[in-house]
Amino acid sequence: MRSLTRGHVKAGFDSVRGAKWRNFWTMLGIIIGVASVITIVSIGEGVKQQISQQINHVGKNVITVRPGTIRTNSTQSKSDFSVLSGLSITGSLRDTDVKTVADNKTISASAPLAAVSTDVKGDHATFNNTFVIGTSPDLPELINQKLAYGVFLSVDDEGMNAAVLGTTIASQLFDTDVPLGHSFKIHGEEFVVRGIFDDFGSTPLSDDANYNNSIFIPYDVAQRITKNTAVVYEILAKTESASAVSPTLSSLQKSIKKNHGDQNDFSVLRAEQSLAARSNVLSLLTNLISGVAAISLLVGGIGIMNVMLVSVAERMHEIGIRKAIGATNRQIMSQFMIESSLLSLSGGVIGVIVALIFDGLMRFFTNLRPVISWQVVLLAFGVSLAVGIIFGTIPALKAARKDPIEALRSQL
């Protein structure tokens, strides 16, 4: 029986090859379905891995305070997007919140991030899309980021026009490679460069990448030059130990709520939560693309059913011959089932190849790092095989149940 199956597989390949173009269009649905399933799963997997790397990088005992409420439920898409952009704010954090966090006893380090919208004047040009962020000396420790040159803002710099630059903006503002001690203008005021950050590794769906294009100045200076209109979009804080995170979270929650007049228009998040919020966007996207994939697999399956029905009709005479020389209904059935499975499996293989190409393109053109695991490839093959079997059943049954005489009589 096994060698017969091998014969069927060979015959199946022959007939799949025989009608190349027709079969290609038939497989298209499967190809699209499989490729999109693999792509989205691999993106999700990649983001998950990057996020967990980030958590390890930043540390588990970092607490983030953000304006607006964040529901870590994937169906609440609205707040997800506000988290993504970071700056579109529903509530707001205040100066008092910054103090509250800094004064908390269990917090060892904290830094506000306040956005200053202003223009920056360098050696040659004026930039008006640069991020100027007012923050405190603890920032490098909180985001676990080293400086390439110089030092970060210190406590002594409070009230001084000192700045630390991201790598991108540093090279754009100045002609020299290492512009330590050089000065430039923010909001018409002269600032001196104290240090330059290392490159911020870019991660998907986060605004860390922007830090390469950011200028960090002391928080109080930021408030001064904007006349207290700098928007605090995040406060980062770190507890001494990981065990202190939970009590600190609730005490912060309580005290900030008091600041806000008993309103819950802010969120206090642990590291996992603040990063997971990002993946909510992804899960929305995943649902969407999974829907597309399911539909294209369905369409692909129907296409396969059609092509198999045509194939069965075209090969009635052959079926008659096979039955005359002793093929049982089951043997005819399995012949056509194998053929439809091969057809959809080939679609699956092509889909995997397409997904691999997508993967390469994404790695090249975006900061996404999709991870194609063997499990998802196996799943794709399984799904396409299942589609072939499910949608091949009706045509195969039709072939198997055909009366031999009628089949023999039908002409090509």
Partner 1 sequence: MALIELNEVSKVYGFGDASTLALDEATLTIEKGEFVAIMGPSGSGKSTLMNVIGLLDRPSHGKFSLDGRNVAKLRPNQSAKVRRDTIGFIFQSFNLLPRLSVLENVALPLAYRGVSLSKRLKQASNMLERVGIQNREYFLPSQLSGGQAQCAAIARALVNNPKLIIADEPTGNLDSAASRLVMELLAEIHKTGNTILFVTHNPELTRYATRVVYMHDGCIIHDEKTALGQVAATARKVLYTLSTTTEDDDLAGVSALMMALPNKPTVRPARKPTKRRTAKPTVRRKSKTAKAAK
Q: Which is nearer to partner 1, 147 or 321 (CB)?
A: 321
Structure tokens at 221: 């200076």
Contact call for residue 324 and partner 1 (CB under 8 A): yes
Task: Work out whether strand 189-197 and strand 183-186 pair parallel, antiparallel, or are unpaired.
Answer: antiparallel
Q: Determine contact, residues 123/173, Cβ cutoff 8 Å.
A: yes
Contact call for residue 360 and partner 1 (CB under 8 A): no
Give, as ranges, the residues between 378 and 407 that touch partner 1 (CB under 8 A).
404-405
90 closest CA partner among 272, 263, 225: 263
Site string for partner 1, 283-322 (x = CB under 8 A): ----------------------------------xx-xxx
Looking at residue 337, its amino acid is M
> Least separation, in Å, of the C-beta of 320 and partner 1?
8
179 closest CA partner among 149, 140, 138, 210: 149
Q: Which is nearer to partner 1, 11 or 310 (CB)?
A: 11
Q: How far is CA 81 from CA 84, 268, 274, in A?
A: 5, 17, 13
Give, as ranges, the residues between 5 and 34 that touch partner 1 (CB under 8 A).
6-7, 11, 14-15, 18
Choose, by CB under 8 A, the member of 37, 327, 343, 345 that binds partner 1: 327
Contact call for residue 330 and partner 1 (CB under 8 A): yes
Q: Determine contact, residues 152/195, Cβ cutoff 8 Å.
A: yes
Contact call for residue 57 and partner 1 (CB under 8 A): no
Choose, by CB under 8 A, the member of 20, 129, 155, 325 that binds partner 1: 325
* Local structure of 356: helix, strand or coil: helix
> Least separation, in Å, of the C-beta of 387 and partner 1?
26
Structure tokens at 220: 């109080």
Choose, by CB under 8 A, the member of 124, 155, 177, 326 that binds partner 1: 326
Contact call for residue 334 and partner 1 (CB under 8 A): no
Percentage helix, strand, coil, to 5, in the chain? 60, 15, 25
> Least separation, in Å, of the C-beta of 331 and partner 1?
6
Q: Which is nearer to partner 1, 35 or 332 (CB)?
A: 332
H/E run at residue 148: strand 147-150
Looking at residue 50, its amino acid is Q
Contact region for partner 1 (CB under 8 A) — 177-185, 235-243, 304-312, 323-331? 323-331
Quote the CA–CA distance of 247 and 10 in Å, as a whole number: 67
Sign of the CA dihedral running 19, 385, 33, 202: negative
> Least separation, in Å, of the C-beta of 202 and partner 1?
55
Interface residue list for partner 1 (CB under 8 A): 1, 3-4, 6-7, 11, 14-15, 18, 317-318, 320-331, 404-405, 408
